[in-house]
C-alpha cells in the first residue's frame, strides 16, 4: 500500500506540466493559488514542491533542485519508497529496522533543518 501511494504521487507529478515560474504547478490539480503567496507576496515553506516533483519525474534533476531543493530530495525519496515497497511486496523482504533508523528523532530534526534551509533558499531566489 505504501509503495502504491508513493507511485501514485509520482504519477500525478508526471501528469502536471511544471510551471515556468518555479511555483504554482499545483493549480493544475484544480487547487487555488497559494494563500500565503497571495497574502504576503513571499513563498510559503513548501513553495515550489509540486513544481520540483514535476521536474524530477521528468529527469530534470538540476532544474528540480533549482526550483525547490527539498522538493527534489522528497521526490527522490518518494521514488525510493515506491521501489523499496514493491521490492518488499514481491520478495517478502522486511524494511522495518531500516525504516525505524530513518524515523529517528535525529533524522527528523535533520529533515526539518533541510526544509528550513530550502525555504530560506526559496526566499532568496523569489521573484
Which residues are CB-neighbours of 124 under 8 A, at least 6 positions away? none
Quote the CA–CA distance of 21 and 55 in Å, as a whole number: 12
Helices (H) and strands (E) in the chain, counts: 7, 0
Q: How many CB atoms lie within 10 A of CB 78?
A: 20
Place of cell 507576496: 41
Measured CA to CA in angstroms, residue 61 lies from 7, 53, 75, 80 at distances of: 18, 9, 10, 15
pLDDT tens for the chain, residues 1 to 127: 889 999 999 999 999 999 988 888 998 999 998 889 889 999 999 999 999 999 999 999 999 999 999 999 999 999 999 998 888 888 888 776 677 777 788 888 999 999 999 999 999 998 7
| Domain layout of the chain by residue ranges | 2-125
* pLDDT computed for residue 8 by the predictor: 96
Write down the pTM of the prediction. 0.88
What is the pLDDT, as a whole number, of residue 74? 97
Please give, one letter per residue, the 3-state secondary structure of 61-117: HHHHHHHCHHHHHHHHHHHHHHHHHHHHHHHCCCCHHHHHHHCCHHHHHHHHHHHHH
Amino acid at each position: 500500500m505504501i509503495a502504491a501511494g508513493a507511485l501514485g504521487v509520482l504519477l500525478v507529478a508526471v501528469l502536471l506540466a511544471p510551471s515556468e515560474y518555479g511555483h504554482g504547478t499545483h493549480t493544475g490539480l484544480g487547487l487555488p493559488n497559494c494563500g500565503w503567496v497571495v497574502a504576503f507576496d513571499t513563498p510559503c515553506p513548501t513553495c515550489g514542491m509540486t513544481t520540483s516533483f514535476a521536474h524530477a519525474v521528468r529527469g530534470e534533476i538540476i532544474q528540480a533542485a533549482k526550483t525547490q531543493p527539498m522538493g527534489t530530495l522528497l521526490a527522490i525519496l518518494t521514488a525510493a519508497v515506491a521501489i523499496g515497497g514493491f521490492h518488499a511486496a514481491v520478495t517478502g523482504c522486511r524494511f522495518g529496522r531500516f525504516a525505524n533508523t530513518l524515523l529517528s528523532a535525529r533524522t527528523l530534526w535533520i529533515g526539518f533543518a533541510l526544509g528550513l534551509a530550502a525555504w530560506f533558499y526559496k526566499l532568496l531566489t523569489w521573484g
